Structure formats: C-alpha cells, structure tokens
C-alpha cells in the first residue's frame, strides 16, 4: 500500500473530529502469548488512572476479554445486537432467468439451472452485492442474514466499557465482524465518550488483524521467547511494514526459556519495533487469571505486576506525548483536555 | 473453502486427522509434532501438514539437521488462489461512478482528488469483480496474484512435511489451506501413505473450516482455563455440525487442577472422548528452542507413554475406518 492510501485510511477517522481518541492495538501473531491478558490489564489500569476506556475485543472467532475480566455476556447490563450481511433475495416477478447474476458471482454462491430461477447458498455468499448491482431487471432485493453478534458491556469496571464481536460458529466471514467493530467506534456518539480505545486482535497476520492494525495509532505486539513466538511476530512486523506502521513489543513469560534476553536484543535491532519490557511467568498472575481477575488490580506486590506497571507507565507516557497534548493527571475531566496532536 | 476430497476417498483410503483448539497457544503444534514423531516411530506410514498458514510453525520442529540436505529435498511452489482488481488508468474517463455508486462493498476503492482517479486498496480488495463488471469503460481488470507458498520436504523422521504460508495481505487463508490439502493428499497418494496429520490454525473461522471440512477425525487440544474451555466448545460446535468424530487432549492439566476436574467431568458428561492429557513441564518450551518434537527432546517416560497411547488410538481409528 502506498503512503497516500494509508494516510487516507488514517484521516477517515481522525480529520472529521479532532477529539478522536487514540486507538491502541494489542496483537502478536502467535496464539496464546498473552494478547488478551495484556489488553485487559492495560484497559483496567488506564481506567483506574481516570481514563475513560473502550476495550474492543476484535478476536471475533474466540473473544475471551470478558472471561479474563471475570464477566459474563448474559449480564443484564449487556446490550447485544446481531451483525448481519447482505444476501440476495430473488424477485420472481421481475427475474427473467438470464443467468447474469450466477455468472457474476465470484464465490459461486448462486445456483441456477437452465430455465429455472436462481437460488443462493448463503454460507458461500460474501455479501458483496455484485449480483444486485449488475442485475438489469432489478430482480434482486436485499435480504440480510446474521453471521455474528456484538455485545456492549458498559462499566465492566469503573471507567471501562467493553465491546465484544463474536462470529457465529460455522460462519467464515470474521473480517466482516471486525469491520463492523471498527465502523462502530468511528461513530461520534461512541468515540466521543472515550479517552482511549484499545483493540484486542486475533492471533495470526490475516485480514482481520490487518484491518485492526490499519485502524490503530499505536500497535503493541506481545510475544514469547520461543522460535514460534519470534517467527509469528516477524510476520506481524512484515505486515506492519506493508501498512507502514511502527510497533512496540512486550515479551510475555520472558523467563519461560533462557532466550528472553537474546530475543529482546534481536528484536530491538529492528528499526520498526521498540522494546517496552517483559513480564515473567508468575504464580500469582496465574491465580488471578484462573479467577478471572485482572492481575494488575491485585493488591499484592509480585514481580509480574511490578513489571507490567512499569510497561504501563511507558505506554501512558508515549500516548501522552504522541496523542494527548496535556498530561493526564488524576481527578480532572480528561475529555476536555484531550486534543489530538496535529492533523495527520 | 471446501476441499474436494470425496473423489479420491474410495481410491486412497487416506485417513485425515486435523488438530485444532479454538484458543491459540495451548499446544497444538507441540502435540502434533510429537504425535507425528510417535506414529513414525511405530512404523506407520504418515504424512504431516501445517495448515496454520498465517503462523506456520511446525517446520521449525522438523528442520532437518543437515541444512544442505534440506535444500536439496525441498520443493517450494507458489500458489495463486486470489484475484485482485487492478486499475487501468488509460481507460478511465474520471466519471467517479465507482465511488459515487459504491461499486465496492469492501471499502477497497478510494478517490484520488488530485489525479481524479480511483485507488485500489489491494489488501482490502476481495476480488469480487464488482468494479470490473460495473465500470462503464472497463477501467478495472481482475488479475490473479500470488497468495502464498507451499513447501514440501522430507523430514529426518520418515515422513514428509507439507507447510503452507500465505503472503501477507493476500486475504486467502482458507483457500490456501484447501490448496495445501490437495498437495498433501496427492503426495500421500504417490507414496501410498495412510494417515495425514494436519496442524490446524487457531480460531473457528475460514481457515479452520477449510482444515476440518471432510476430514475423518479431529483432535481438539485444550487447557484447564475458562478461556480455553470456552474456545474449545466453539470449535467442537463446528466439528459436531459437520458430523466429524473427534477426541480431546488436555494439555497443562496441573495448571489448574480444580478446573481440570471440572473440565473432564464436563467432557465425560457430554460423552466426548478424552484421548489423553499432559502435565505442565517447564522443559517443554526448550524443545521448541532446540527445534525438536517435544516427546523426543524431553525423553520423559510418562510423556512418551501418553503420546504412544494417543498415537495407538489414532492408528486404531484409521484401521477401523478402512476395514
């Protein structure tokens, strides 16, 4: 993608309103490195520091953020809404059985036998609307089918709202749900409520992840000190290069092997990525994880928490310097202070 | 997305097993590597494929010790499973219909005000052909693009490994998995191999659907945490909807003993087969660092025995199917 395009993408959510909050994305490539763990703990710690935070769970195939926050989506304060996509509905009064729609369908989702009306196989349809757009007889109406849900969970913790996207099992169009979430946070009535938006991404480096990173201002990659972690993080770095974004990284379970230090050195030699710190394997953290309690709120002092809070301080500083003109301080109405630095 | 396996079904008797988990990082690749190692050690004729085409890691554990030999027996093929729109400026009459009439449902078209032409975002483009079909002057064409590579090589353990990797931004993981399966199936046919063991992607999306469609058995790997249980249930709902038999492996079982008991009770109650379980082992990650199948590196009798037991069960399922 060239620069012009990436600028355009960014401006789509920044130029319209100068008070758009910064978006921080948590990603990493490999599954199970601690993306959701870090994203949820960042979210609660920022909200504890008087930021109004929206955490968006964009791992729509397996959304786990609410579990790590110890919450359930059947809570009565949760609003859920179906996410639907277009599917053609053939109007038999207008259709002349010409077969153009079937020929135009790149997913081969339209079935049509000679001299018969066309029909659609919904699971193959990507909702591209090509059939409707090319039909010369206006014989295709719009119908919609659900492929997932979104859940809005206000005040999950004080100052922290949660938006969860969830793909219905057996559906393939996860990217559509991710897009829906991105569109959602770009609505003024949503984003104007927040000082910070955090995206928790899916593992991998596919289109869902690409869309999230593209829509973000700051990207934090979580990895682990194994060749698996490094290999998959390298894929994320390549992706970030394509979409022209820099990234920060955290090594989680840094003492899992003796490679942690070497890995941080190796990765730090890349120009496009900056080391924020590491979090060790920690028994207390695991206890909290099992209980669904964010470890950063645990009143006890333990190594992983100390390490995490140091990383948090750095992130807060970067966000403040890069995106928020005035330093965040406690007990003030931060929304008024928040002004995006310049217009990209 | 759907693999065309049915045709070769009757001829080959290839038994295909896919390992998935829902949640990432629970040990799919580690366990797949060890099952492959064990099956080969038991002299079974197998072939192994890495269908986690967005984060392909299995080859890391089977990298042959002699790198020269690796390069010699390795074949890499580029696959084109994706089509993308390409703008043809010479045909454009700057009417801007493509933008004004929303040709693109995937937000892949934007307008360059300065030059009065559209810009195609090739990552966002789905190749749906809308712009190509609707532009009054045919200023868009649809062209195949490289979507990834499929690498085949003989490991040091008596079986070949087929590994796929997508080109970033090509938006084609599901189709890549289908391509990869074709390559693995045809090599299995050539070499008369009996069992295809596939390491699947995390999640439950398009590539997972492509990796489990039409297979004979699915192994679900999980760990005793609420998140992993939630995710594995979602994965099982897909496998069940396809009517594919499956079994569960619980990894890191002593991570949370209480949860482990709850989990096994739940699985038993559902009548879901538990193939085996593994304890946490702090040397496990070092097998990955040393690029070896876990069971080989650990040389731990109990762990070896458990893998042996699971491999035997798998092979028995293969025998049951062909008889």
CB A162 within 8 A of CB A69: yes
CB B22 within 8 A of CB B228: yes
Residue in B with minimal Cα distance to A147: B205
Together in a domain, A191 and A222: yes
Is B316 a residue whose pLDDT tops 80? yes
Together in a domain, A76 and A8: yes
Together in a domain, A115 and A219: no
CB B143 within 8 A of CB B84: yes
Which helix or strand (DSSP H or E) is residue A56 part of?
Answer: strand A53-57
A134 inside domain: yes
3-state secondary structure of A177: helix
CB A163 within 8 A of CB A151: yes
pLDDT band at B66 (very low <50, low <70, confident <90, very high): low
CA dist A215 → A145, A265, A290, B225, B298 (Å): 26, 29, 32, 31, 43
Q: Which of B261, B285, B293 to mutate to test the interface with A (most CBs of A within 10 A)?
A: B285
With residues binned 3-state (H G I as helix, E B as strand, rest as coil), the percentages for chain B, rounded to 5, are 40, 20, 35
A162: nearest Cα among A68, A228, A231 = A68
Is B322 a residue whose pLDDT tops 80? no
Instruction: Give the helix ranges, DSSP H, for chain A.
Output: 3-14, 35-48, 65-68, 100-104, 130-134, 174-185, 188-191, 207-214, 227-242, 260-268, 283-291, 303-323, 334-337
Give the CA angle between residues A230, A232, A237 to the nearest 5°: 90
CB A281 within 8 A of CB B285: no
Together in a domain, A161 and A308: yes
A30 inside domain: yes
Tell me how many domains chain A contains.
2
CATH number at A114 reads 3.30.70
Task: Tell me how far the alpha carbon of residue B304 is from its chain's centroid.
Answer: 25
How high is the pLDDT of residue A270? 80
State the CB neighbour count (10 A cutoff) for residue B258. Answer: 9
In chain A (344 residues long), the average pLDDT of successive 10-residue segments reads 40 49 96 97 97 98 97 95 97 96 95 95 93 96 97 97 97 94 96 96 93 95 95 93 89 90 81 91 94 96 98 95 56 33 32
A183 CB within 8 Å of a chain B CB: no
Over the stretch B131-184, which tens digit does the pLDDT of each residue have?
A: 999 999 999 999 999 989 999 999 989 999 999 999 887 777 899 999 999 999
Structure tokens at B231: 């995710």
Together in a domain, A173 and A306: yes
Q: Print the domain residue range for A111.
A: 92-138
pLDDT band at B64 (very low <50, low <70, confident <90, very high): low
Together in a domain, A171 and A257: yes
Q: Which residues of A touch B166 (CB under 8 A)?
A: 206
Instruction: Give the helix ranges, DSSP H, for A28-109.
Output: 35-48, 65-68, 100-104
Together in a domain, A134 and A154: no
Residue in B with minimal Cα distance to A290: B225
How high is the pLDDT of residue B12? 54
CATH number at A216 reads 3.40.50.300
Give the phi and the psi of residue A31 in degrees, each rounded to 5.
-75, 150
Largest CA distance in chain B: 73
Over the stretch B218-250, which tens digit does the pLDDT of each residue have?
A: 999 999 999 999 999 999 999 999 999 999 999
Flag if A235 and B55 touch (Cβ within 8 Å): yes
A143 inside domain: no
A342 inside domain: no
A126 inside domain: yes
3-state secondary structure of A200: strand
Q: Which of A68, A136, A207, A282 to mutate to test the interface with B (most CBs of B within 10 A)?
A: A207
Instruction: Give the helix ranges, DSSP H, for A154-259.
Output: 174-185, 188-191, 207-214, 227-242
Together in a domain, A104 and A223: no
For chain A, the straight-line distance linking the first and the last C-alpha, in angstroms and rounded, comes to 17
A344 inside domain: no
Over the stretch B187-219, which tens digit does the pLDDT of each residue have?
A: 999 999 999 999 999 999 999 999 999 999 999
Q: Which residues of A touch B235 (CB under 8 A)?
A: 169
Final residue of a domain: which of A100, A117, A138?
A: A138
Q: What is the pTM of this model?
A: 0.90
- Window 48-77 of A: residues touching B by CB (8 A cutoff) are 59, 61-62, 64, 67-68
Dist CA A233 CA A340 (whole Å): 29
Instruction: Give the helix ranges, DSSP H, for chain B.
Output: 6-12, 28-41, 58-61, 67-73, 97-100, 130-134, 173-190, 206-212, 226-241, 257-270, 284-289, 294-298, 301-322
Together in a domain, A126 and A171: no
Dist CA B253 CA B259 (whole Å): 9
State the CB neighbour count (10 A cutoff) for residue B159. Answer: 23
For chain B, the straight-line distance linking the first and the last C-alpha, in angstroms and rounded, comes to 30
A118 inside domain: yes
State the CB neighbour count (10 A cutoff) for residue A205. Answer: 29
Residue with tokens 């496990």: B284
Dist CA B276 CA B303 (whole Å): 10
Structure tokens at A205: 């480096």
Is B259 a residue whose pLDDT tops 70? yes
Residue A24 pairs with which residues in a beta bridge? A198, A218
pLDDT band at B269 (very low <50, low <70, confident <90, very high): very high
A17 inside domain: yes
Q: Which residues of A touch B207 (CB under 8 A)?
A: 206
A223-237, A242-256, B56-70, B275-289: lowest mean pLDDT where? B56-70
Residue in B with minimal Cα distance to A281: B282
Over the stretch B89-138, which tens digit does the pLDDT of each residue have?
A: 999 999 999 999 999 998 899 999 999 999 999 888 989 999 999 999 99
Together in a domain, A158 and A126: no
How high is the pLDDT of residue A272? 82
Flag if A235 and B168 touch (Cβ within 8 Å): yes
Together in a domain, A215 and A98: no
Dist CA A269 CA A225 (whole Å): 16
B312: nearest Cα among B44, B15, B47, B14 = B44
Together in a domain, A75 and A100: no
CB A264 within 8 A of CB A248: no
How high is the pLDDT of residue B26? 96
Dist CA A199 CA A23 (whole Å): 7
Hey, what domains does chain B have and what are their CATH numbers? 6-80+148-322 (3.40.50.300), 82-145 (3.30.70.20)
Dist CA B128 CA B275 (whole Å): 43
């Amino acid at each position: 993608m060239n620069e012009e395009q990436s600028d355009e993408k960014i401006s789509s959510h920044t130029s319209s309103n100068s008070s758009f909050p910064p978006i921080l994305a948590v990603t990493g490539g490999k599954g199970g490195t601690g993306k959701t763990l870090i994203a949820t703990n960042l979210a609660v710690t920022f909200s504890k520091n008087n930021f109004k935070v929206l955490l968006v769970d964009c791992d729509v195939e397996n959304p786990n953020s609410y579990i790590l926050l110890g919450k359930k989506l059947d809570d009565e304060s949760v609003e859920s809404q179906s996410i639907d996509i277009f599917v053609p509905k053939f109007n038999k009064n207008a259709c002349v059985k010409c077969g153009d729609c079937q020929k135009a369908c790149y997913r081969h989702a339209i079935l049509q036998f000679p001299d018969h009306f066309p029909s659609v196989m919904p699971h193959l349809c990507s909702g591209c609307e090509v059939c409707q757009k090319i039909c010369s007889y206006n014989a295709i109406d719009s119908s919609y089918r659900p492929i997932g849900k979104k859940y809005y969970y206000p005040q999950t913790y004080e100052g922290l709202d949660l938006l969860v996207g969830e793909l219905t099992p057996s559906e393939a169009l996860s990217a559509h749900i991710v897009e829906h979430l991105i569109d959602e946070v770009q609505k003024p009535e949503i984003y104007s409520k927040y000082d910070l938006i955090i995206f928790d991404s899916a593992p991998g480096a596919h289109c869902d992840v690409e869309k999230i990173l593209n829509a973000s201002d700051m990207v934090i990659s979580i990895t682990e000190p194994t060749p698996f972690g490094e290999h998959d993080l390298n894929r994320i770095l390549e992706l970030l290069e394509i979409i022209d974004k820099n990234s920060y990284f955290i090594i989680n379970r840094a003492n899992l092997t003796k490679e942690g230090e070497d890995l941080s050195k190796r990765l730090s030699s890349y120009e496009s990525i900056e080391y924020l710190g590491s979090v060790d394997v920690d028994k207390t953290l695991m206890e909290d994880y099992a209980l669904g309690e964010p470890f950063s709120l645990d009143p006890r002092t333990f190594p992983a928490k100390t390490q995490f809070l140091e990383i948090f301080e750095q992130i807060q500083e970067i966000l403040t310097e890069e995106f928020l003109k005035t330093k965040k301080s406690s007990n003030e109405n931060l929304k008024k202070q928040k002004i995006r630095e310049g217009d990209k | 997305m759907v693999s065309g396996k049915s045709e070769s079904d009757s001829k080959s008797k290839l038994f295909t097993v896919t390992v998935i988990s829902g949640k990432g990082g629970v040990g799919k690749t580690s366990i797949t590597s060890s099952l492959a190692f064990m099956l080969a050690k038991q002299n079974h004729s197998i072939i192994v494929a890495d269908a986690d085409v967005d984060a392909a890691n299995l080859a890391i554990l089977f990298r042959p010790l002699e790198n020269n030999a690796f390069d010699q027996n390795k074949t890499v093929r580029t696959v084109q499973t994706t089509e993308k729109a390409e703008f043809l400026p010479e045909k454009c009459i700057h009417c801007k219909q493509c933008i004004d009439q929303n040709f693109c449902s995937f937000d892949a078209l934007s307008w360059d005000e300065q030059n009065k032409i559209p810009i195609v975002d090739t990552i966002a483009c789905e190749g749906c052909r809308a712009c190509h079909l609707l532009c009054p002057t045919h200023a868009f064409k649809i062209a195949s693009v490289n979507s990834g590579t499929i690498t085949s090589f003989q490991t040091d353990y008596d079986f070949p490994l087929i590994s796929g990797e997508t080109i970033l931004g090509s938006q084609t993981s599901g189709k890549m998995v289908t391509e990869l399966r074709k390559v693995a199936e045809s090599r299995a046919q050539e070499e008369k191999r009996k069992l295809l063991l596939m390491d699947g992607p995390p999640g439950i999306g398009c590539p997972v659907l492509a990796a489990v469609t039409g297979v004979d058995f699915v192994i679900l790997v999980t760990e005793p945490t609420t998140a992993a249980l939630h995710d594995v249930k979602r994965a099982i709902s897909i496998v069940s909807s396809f009517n594919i038999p499956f079994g569960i492996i619980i990894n890191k079982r002593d991570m949370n003993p209480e949860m482990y008991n709850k989990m096994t009770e739940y699985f038993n109650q559902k009548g879901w087969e538990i193939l085996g379980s593994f304890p946490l082992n702090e040397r496990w990650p070092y097998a990955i660092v040393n690029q070896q199948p876990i069971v080989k590196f650990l040389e731990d009798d109990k762990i070896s025995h458990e893998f042996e037991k699971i491999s035997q069960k798998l092979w028995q399922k293969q025998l049951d199917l062909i008889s």
